[in-house]
Amino acid sequence: MDVERRLIIMRRIAGAVGTAVLQLLKWMLKIVLGAFKLFLGLVRLVLLLFCLVARVFLSFVRMGTF
């Protein structure tokens, strides 16, 4: 085998490894962003429930003052 042929083979291998690493990083980023989106949805739900409880509590306090 001459040097040019070896370089072509090494470039193909490096390209395949690079593509695999990029795909792996892309899937890891998708998983992290999905988990972050789930966390933000949970925080939103907790805040909405807190606002609902606060409104009910304040309405009872207002009724008690009359």
Mean pLDDT score of the chain: 93
CA angle 58, 63, 65 (to 5 degrees): 95
What pLDDT score was predicted for residue 1? 66
Q: pLDDT by residue (tens digit) across 2-20?
A: 889 999 999 999 999 999 9
Judged against a pLDDT cut of 90, whether residue 60 lies above it is answered with no
**pLDDT per residue over 31-49, tens digit each?**
999 999 999 999 999 999 9
Tokens standing for residue 26: 């892309």
pTM for the model: 0.65
* Distance from C-alpha of 32 to C-alpha of 34, rounded to nearest angstrom: 5
